[in-house]
Chain A
């Protein structure tokens, strides 16, 4: 018997493996990029962000976004000079749409941001503690969630008075309960995971469990929801603007622009059409991106 210490290795050399570092991230990126819709969403979102950032610098008629009037040029159809045409006071709609992107982004980010800042901690508390604290939080959340969001927002704006700031406050108040419910449910299910029990058995206190085990696992549903919410918040803001409760004219907010343009259908259709198209494409982008993120981060979650 020969004395080979180890069993004979396989004769065939193993195929080259991808390096292990960041493999998970790269796999996620690869999965994301394989989806046409997710990439389209990403493209739209990037386009939106770029417009918000650089639009005002590129706009051909920046003064039109802040109330300049030019009756000579009123209600001109789309052309090379005025890509989206002009409105009833002669403003270039393309420029106004570009400026409006910035407002829209501000509103979306603020509303989603505040909603997360209020909702996530409350959800964590409700999930981690029990008893009447959690009960109260959840009951209040349930009541808020039982009121159709837009109506509640209108009621709040109706009470506070029209204006962009009040619209943002109203929308934030409508949005935070959604995060409470999401985080609370996730926290509750995570608390019962075996690894949390294991951590506790090893002496981990509740704060450590919260930050090391619970919070990181909540992040992916929060990220997915935030992405979808950006789209919905933008719709909400545009809706309030359409009703005249958000940004006031001559502010170039997309919803308000549609309301203005409404009177000029059908002959001067471009006044109402292009701002709406902008809203649609932006919301579509966030929705597609949210879908893509969800498929990548948590394929079993719907």
Chain B
């Protein structure tokens, strides 16, 4: 392990995930729900952006100017090339936190995002990050921070220490991280077979350890084989960030904010008796066995909660758009605790109105589909639908227009990558100012469309010409298809569905070229 990593595992790149929580529009919805003032986001920064997909999508699709760093040169290089291709102006660098945080040429930020890395970096780096947020986040600015937390993470600490300890001490440093992980997992299997007392006392942990074999090695490398990995409690995080002048605003995970979806009635009653917000979150984490927190924090004004009139105005000003065909909508919400059927009578009129995939403000919806519970009830419904991915926040028309060109350029770069790789499954939408999920095959159809190829039959031929030589058999229902004819037929089936049910929607969302 080389020194430039500061103990952070290298030799394996992190996954190419996209996290909508890093988008300022997503933050605006969450803060509005919690009644916290959201600033206008001019400058945004992501520290430790990984492959930089989230940053690139938000830079291309949103109106903020994005800055960021990642210490891994291959990741930072990939991210910077995407930024260049999109022409989004995102300044994505390859510096250590120590070097980056000391730069004199950075602006102050309205929004800073730290995804996952907090738990994976050394205490020295945590101090740097805290200091950076204290100095560079503007008053009223928003911090997005996600981290492995207590209580869920605590019992795993010894498991992780054992795995990383095994890899560090019993495998050759140059063996390659994949092989080192495999060796450590093989050891874990042998250990499990001896029925160690720690795992006997906590059978859940034995299951979690056994489940690691199925995980993506890239994820495991970063989650379990770094030098540093320390889940923190919410109270500890609140104290650390409190010293930097930040206050907890709300969870960035929409559905998490809603007690009814996550907590039993006695649990909600007990929480209601706790006036201290930090204690309340800590107890809630115990109730939900929280492993990973995703939160927004605001730079202290002392009074981040807004008064009811301003709150109503903030809600009414938000825009949403439906990002799923009406036919695909399942009115169920699944959280770690419950599987709940949403009220058809309440949600159907809202969905019927939005099924044209036109963005509407909450004020327009309040007028068109009034609810008995008024604005707050309507917003709760919208908020839940955003949480489940049926709706997404939308930008104002001017911002949509301004983002179209950069989104198209970024998406073309992503389509190009999809020709040979299936690791990126998101595209940028100027309408939502962020990313939307898109698997590889439809990305190839969209590439065909962008090149002027029209119609399902032509798309499937186009995609087949790319895929045929790559010996990645297509699957249907989890089964690989062996013959060329079967594969081509499967492509054609997918193209038909895409053309019939999705093309128009993605044209409206600014992802697919129009005729």
A binds B: no
- B interface residue numbers (CB < 8 A to A): none
